[in-house]
Structure 1
Amino acid sequence: ALTMVPAHTACALLSLAPLLVLGVPPIWTQPEQVHLSYPGVPGSMLVTWTTFNKTESMVEYGLLGSRLFDMSTKGDVALFVDSGVEKRKMFIHRVTLTGLKPAATYVYHCGSDVGWSDMFSFTALNDSSSFSPRFAFYGDLGNENPQSLARLQKETQLGMYDVILHIGELPDNARIGDVFMTQIQSIAAYVPYMTCPGNHEATYNFSNYRNRFSMPGQTESLWYSWNLGSAHIISLSTEVYFYLEFGLELLFNQYEWLKKDLEEANKPENRAVRPWIITMGHRPMYCSDDDQDDCTKFHSYVRLGRNDTKPPAPGLEDLFYRCGVDLELWAHEHTYERLWPVYGDKVCNGSKDQPYVNPKAPVHIITGSAGCREKTDRFNPNPKEWSAFRSTDYGYTRMQLVNATHLYLEQVSDDQYGKVIDSIWVVKERHGFSAWS
Structure 2
Amino acid sequence: MLPVSILLVVGCLIAPLHGVPPIWSQPEQVHVSYPGVHGSMVVTWTTFNETESVVEYNEWGGKLFTLVAKGNATTFVDGGSEKRRLFIHRVTLSGLKPGSAYVYHCGSEAGWSDIFYFTALNESLEWSPRFALFGDMGNENPQSLARLQKETQVGMYDVILHIGDFAYDMDEDNARIGDEFMRQVESIAAYVPYMTCPGNHEYRYNFSNYKNRFSMPGDTEGLWYSWDIGPAHIISFSTEVYFYPEFGKDLISKQYEWLKKDLEEASNPSKRQTRPWIITMGHRPMYCSNADKDDCTMFESIVRRSLEDLFYLYGVDLELWAHEHTYERLWPVYKYKVYNGSAEEPYVNPRAPVHIITGSAGCREKHDGFIPKPRDWSALRSTDYGYTRMQVLNSTHLYLEQVSDDQNGKVIDTMWLVKDRHATAAWV
| Bin for the TM-score computed over the shorter chain | over 0.9
Gaps of 5+ in 1: 305-314
Which of 363, 378, 385 is residue 394 of structure 1 equivalent to?
Answer: 385
Task: Give the whole-Å Cα distance in 1 for the aligned partners of 2:60 and 2:392.
Answer: 26
Aligned match of 2:394: 403
Question: What displacement does 1:3 show?
Answer: 6.7
Aligned match of 1:169: 165
What is the 5 A alignment of 1:75-154?
Answer: 75-154=71-150
Question: What displacement does 1:5 show?
Answer: 3.2
Question: What displacement does 1:434 show?
Answer: 1.4
Task: Give the whole-Å Cα distance in 2 for the aligned partners of 1:245 and 1:375.
Answer: 29
Aligned match of 2:324: 333
Give the partner amino acid of 2:332. P
Aligned match of 1:309: none
- Seq. identity, %: 72
Moved over 6 A (4+): none
Question: What displacement does 1:26 show?
Answer: 1.1
Contact 1:169–1:197 (Cα < 8 Å) also in 2: yes
- Please list the CA deviations of residues 119-175 of structure 1 after superposition, one character each: whole Å capped at 9, or x if unmatched: 000010011111100000000011101000000000000000000000000133121
- Secondary structure of 2:347's partner? coil
Number of residue pairs matched by the alignment: 422
Question: What displacement does 1:284 show?
Answer: 0.1
Task: Give the whole-Å Cα distance in 1 for the aligned partners of 2:303 and 2:265.
Answer: 22
What is the 5 A alignment of 1:263-412?
Answer: 263-304=264-305, 315-412=306-403
Question: What displacement does 1:97 show?
Answer: 0.3
Question: What displacement does 1:27 show?
Answer: 2.1
Task: Give the whole-Å Cα distance in 2 for the aligned partners of 1:216 and 1:272.
Answer: 24
- Please list the CA deviations of residues 320-370 of structure 1 after superposition, one character each: whole Å capped at 9, or x if unmatched: 000100000000000000000000011110111000000000000000000
Give the partner amino acid of 1:5. S
Aligned match of 1:310: none
Task: Give the whole-Å Cα distance in 1 for the aligned partners of 2:166 and 2:375.
Answer: 30
- Please list the CA deviations of residues 90-124 of structure 1 after superposition, one character each: whole Å capped at 9, or x if unmatched: 10000000111111100000000110000000010
Task: Give the whole-Å Cα distance in 2 for the aligned partners of 1:202 and 1:354.
Answer: 41
Contact 1:34–1:49 (Cα < 8 Å) also in 2: yes
Task: Give the whole-Å Cα distance in 1 for the aligned partners of 2:162 and 2:296.
Answer: 19
Question: What displacement does 1:24 show?
Answer: 5.1
Which of 45, 66, 70 is residue 70 of structure 1 equivalent to?
Answer: 66
Give the partner amino acid of 1:392. T
Contact 1:42–1:126 (Cα < 8 Å) also in 2: no
Aligned match of 2:4: 4
Gaps of 5+ in 2: none
Task: Give the whole-Å Cα distance in 2 for the aligned partners of 1:197 and 1:297.
Answer: 22
Task: Give the whole-Å Cα distance in 2 for the aligned partners of 1:347 and 1:54.
Answer: 55
Task: Give the whole-Å Cα distance in 1 for the aligned partners of 2:90 and 2:4.
Answer: 53
Give the partner amino acid of 2:251. L
Aligned match of 1:34: 30
Question: What displacement does 1:239 show?
Answer: 0.3
Identify if the C-alpha distance between structure 1 residues 20 and 349 changes in structure 2 by more than 3 Å, giving closer, same or farther. same
